[in-house]
Amino acid sequence: MQIALSARPIPNCNSTPQPLNISRLTLTAFRNHRDYTCEFTAAPVVIAGANGSGKTNLLEAISLLVPGRGLRRAEMADIQSLHHNTPWAVATHLRTAFGDLSIGIGRDPNATDNDRRLVHIDGQNARSQNALADHVAMAWITPAMDGILNEGASARRKWLDRLVYSFNPAHSGRVTRYEKAMRERSRLLREGPADAHWLNALESEMAQSGVAIAAARRHLLQQLRTAIAETSGAFPRADLALKGMAEEALDDQPALIIEDHLRAALARTRGEDAQSGTCSVGVHRSDLAVTHRAKQCPAELCSTGEQKALMIAIMLAYVRTLLQHRNLSPLFLLDDIAAHLDDTRREALFEEILTLKVQAWLTGTDTDAFAPILPYAQL
């Protein structure tokens, strides 16, 4: 696979310097890329090549510039090249609204935990990967996401929380605290008899963090509903709703009252949870309901093509939401996107990308599928 930068003119809608774009990307021992370096402009990037040439690996490397495991949700050890012992690393130079920025991430060769990564921001060690969210926002659409809308609540909930991370960087820490307290509560109940004071403390943490998580999810959905109305008419409108004790209660009750209710529910279900080994109440059981508005049909009952179009509509709305409400231009990764759209929706997607003025990264096997955007992109 080759990426040759073009000198094509960028249209007026994309001529303004991008608030955030990657100007240089270097990969070392990252999957099938032993030593890769390329420079880029702010224009959309089209990466065309045969299957297995490493297109998705490039997007995965970029996706690690935000907290989490990236678009593949891979273990850090799995990213390491099988043929090179040098620890894998990703180095980027970015242009931002606040000046140039360098970010480096990679496997820590001295860590006993193979899943630990090092994060450097402008040459300084970051205390945790959560610091990345202060500098970079990102959205992506991959073939692996095609089933999210008809899978179980867990997949939709995790997807929603990943969206909230870029919209509200503090959300990641709240989810971490909530899940840690929930695991510790389950362990105490399983081993029993548990210290009541310690259980009370853990359940208070779950209640406080849980209500904050629910509020952040609701806030993002409110913004998405507005942004969906502004998405191209080629894509179906999606109605979004949260189903969950805390999320629904926030409609008409103050947060402190809901915390008390959640705390009481956790205390009341200790016996049941000790027997089942699970936690029966909390925001870890909430769900995101998506409905095709025109058809008044739940997304899980829509066709595969309609689900794909709904997902794209939601993600375009998400990018617009980040631009409008966080004043942060996200990197937009679209893996193998063109092959699954008809000509009308493909052209509408490209038009949306250029109008939003984001640095989008698009992969595919056929260059012809990107014909409408190629005059304004780097290939």
Q: What is the pLDDT of residues 186-204, one digit of tens each?
A: 999 999 888 899 999 999 9
Would the pLDDT of 3 be above 60? no
**Could you tell me which residues are beta bridge partners of residue 96?**
20, 99
Would the pLDDT of 113 be above 90? no
> pLDDT-derived band of residue 114, with 50, 70 and 90 as boundaries?
low
DSSP strand E in the chain: where?
20-30, 33-39, 45-48, 89-96, 99-107, 117-121, 124-125, 138-141, 238-243, 287-292, 297-298, 331-334, 360-364
378 φ, ψ (degrees, to nearest 5): -110, 130
Which residues, 6 or more positions from 166, have their beta carbon under 8 angstroms from its beta carbon? 66, 133, 137, 138, 139, 322, 326, 328, 330
Predicted pLDDT of residue 112 = 65
Would the pLDDT of 11 be above 70? no
For residue 271, give both structure tokens: 């016996």
290 φ, ψ (degrees, to nearest 5): -120, 130
**By C-alpha distance, which of 321, 359, 336, 320 is closest to 65?**
359
**Distances, alpha carbon 92 to alpha carbons 40, 123, 329, in Å:** 11, 12, 17
Predicted pLDDT of residue 194 = 80
Pick from 48-52, 70-74, 169-173, 311-315 the range whose average pLDDT is largest: 311-315
Would the pLDDT of 18 be above 80? no
Would the pLDDT of 19 be above 50? yes
Q: What is the pLDDT of residues 156-168, one digit of tens each?
A: 999 999 999 888 8
Instruction: Report the C-alpha gap between 124 and 214 in whole angstroms.
Output: 34
Query: How, if at all, do strands 331-334 and 360-364 pair?
Result: parallel
Predicted pLDDT of residue 377 = 93
Residue recorded with tokens 């370096």: 37
Q: What is the pLDDT of residues 228-262, one digit of tens each?
A: 987 778 899 999 999 999 999 999 999 999 999 99
Instruction: Report the C-alpha gap between 348 and 354 in whole angstroms.
Output: 10
Mean pLDDT of 93-120: 85
Mean pLDDT of 349-370: 94
Q: What is the pLDDT of residues 297-318, one digit of tens each?
A: 999 999 988 999 999 999 999 9
